[in-house]
Amino acid sequence: MIATQEDMMIRKSSPICLLLVCFFAQFAYAQAAAPKVKTTQGEAAGKWIHDGKEKAFFGLPYAAPPTGDLRWKAPEPPAKWSGVRDATKFGNRCEQWHVWDDYIFTDAGPSEDCLYLNVYEPAAAKRGGKLPVMVWIHGGGFLAGAGSEPRYTNPALVAKGVIVVTLNYRLNVFGFLASEDLAKEQGGHAGNYGLMDIVAALRWVKANIGAFGGDANNVTIFGESAGSFAVSALSVAPSARGLFQKEIGESGAFFGSVIPMTSASERAKRDQAFVTSLGATSLEELRAMPADKILDAAKKQRGIGFSAVVDGSFLPESLPDAYAAGREAHVPSIIGWNRDERAGVLSKGMTAEKWKAFAKEHYGDKADEFLAAFPGNIDEQAVRSADDFTTNGFIAMGAWRWVEGQSKTGQAPVYRYRFDRPAPAEPLHPTGKYAFHSTELEYVFGTLDVRHGATWQPADRKLSDEVITYWTNFARTGDPNGGGLPQWPRYDKEKMVIHLDDPITVTLDTTRAEFEFMANEPPLRR
């Protein structure tokens, strides 16, 4: 068939037409009125993101500023406002100092006035809709972090038909001080204010997410590192019961010693000594003290740590006790960690001979039992076992105890993963061979390009989309499967683990002997 002159002209003009369509679409998006929403506190105007495919509302207060007399108290409800609130900028992050170089923020700076959250939703979401809701709890060792980190902003999860909420919560000494004076003031209970903040945010979501088109009865909480520790704590907190229906824990749980959860009585004397060192003789003086003075003192004593306590109220008992008795939240769970949470230290220069000597030195007559769990018959195997040993001792042991506890006494599906794909080399992690602690974050949020200096492969983007699909499937139904993904079996039924890599594989749990040995032996014997 011979093309006419008119056909040729149309074909030549097609790219121009396409460009014009794109231009006018962009123009229409730029000129569109800001998206608005009516919350229980008042009306807010957000902004369009992803070329108008999604809406974002930043800096929405979910609690009153915890300043002045409200410092070290349970969060109070936020105030109402009149007019239309500007929700196009992140609220301040909570008080913290610079801890890690990969923590980058896009808010105005740290402040005690920091109890704000952010909502991301599809453009088509409307009041009365029933979209699944995913509430993200950031990590940072309860020392640092915020919802304004680029890793968590503009999440690709939203494109899969969910609403994502990110939030700030009080950190460090402002979030977890548990002194004797505070216990006396608060009826014998003190501490856990940062966790109370998260519960307050979940209450806000329960009351308001319907205005964004979300289902208040289909909420998944998910977090990484300290955020995962928080998820595990909320699973036994009475005040959080019913505020979430699913949970995802990435690399951490209060079942170990990395971030310890002690009794409030044990912490009270130590924290009171810290208060005394500040020169405060009363809570009134302490609450009037400049925040930077308190934070500087905490920074100098970073080793003492401020984190959750068993206070008899917010947390009535330890997590191991609660799970042993089946008193945890019986909700579907995804729990896992990364292959190399802590690697390249003990394993540096490791050989089979050195590994056997290590076993003998630290485990004596249990050396053979240790080597059966962590074999090292050849150098390569010894290196892998050394990295597994340090990874387990750092984060994986607590997460393993959590997944085991949920599998034994929980009454809902449990899915276990290990993120195995090594991160590409970049300035902060130059080796390019480890799936280190926090590696999975950019994959989960689809924000690979915010990691400076990394060169991503097509396989990385494919894996990111697969992980996002698993996570959002789970948020929707409590089952991560579907959408043509490799089948992810239930761990509580089949003791199968999914390995998130390229390609994704599923295996029986091959590391059980490692954890069982470490559960029954001190970490090291000298």
Angle CA(510)–CA(494)–CA(434) in degrees, nearest 5? 35
Query: For residue 139, which of 112, 186, 171, 108 has the smallest C-alpha distance?
Result: 171
In angstroms, what is the C-alpha Rg of the chain? Answer: 25
φ and ψ at residue 226, rounded to 5 degrees: -60, -30
**Torsional class of 514: left (φ above 0), alpha (ψ -120 to 50), beta (otherwise):** alpha
Six token digits for residue 84? 């239309």
- Nearest in space to 244 (alpha carbons), one of 332, 152, 308: 332
Which residues does the annotation mark as catalytic?
225, 341, 437
The token pair that represents 412 in the structure block:
């809902």
Taken as a whole, the chain contains a residue count of 526
**CA separation for the pair 342, 392 (Å, rounded):** 8
Token pair, residue 39, equals: 């919350």
Distance CA 153, CA 88 (A): 13
Distance CA 398, CA 402 (A): 6
No. of helices (H) and no. of strands (E), the chain: 17, 18
Q: Could you give the CA distance from residue 225 to residue 171 in angstroms, rounded to a whole number?
A: 14
Q: Where are the alpha helices (DSSP H) in 244-396?
A: 264-277, 283-288, 291-300, 319-324, 352-363, 367-373, 379-391
- 323's tokens: 């799970």
Asked if 59 contacts 111 with a C-beta cutoff of 8 angstroms, the reply is: no
Tell how strand 309-310 and strand 110-111 pair up.
unpaired
The 116-122 sheet, strands edge to edge: 47-49, 54-61, 116-122, 163-167, 131-137, 214-224, 246-250, 333-338, 414-419, 496-500, 505-508
**Cα end-to-end span (Å), the chain:** 86
User: What three-state secondary structure class fits 289?
Assistant: coil
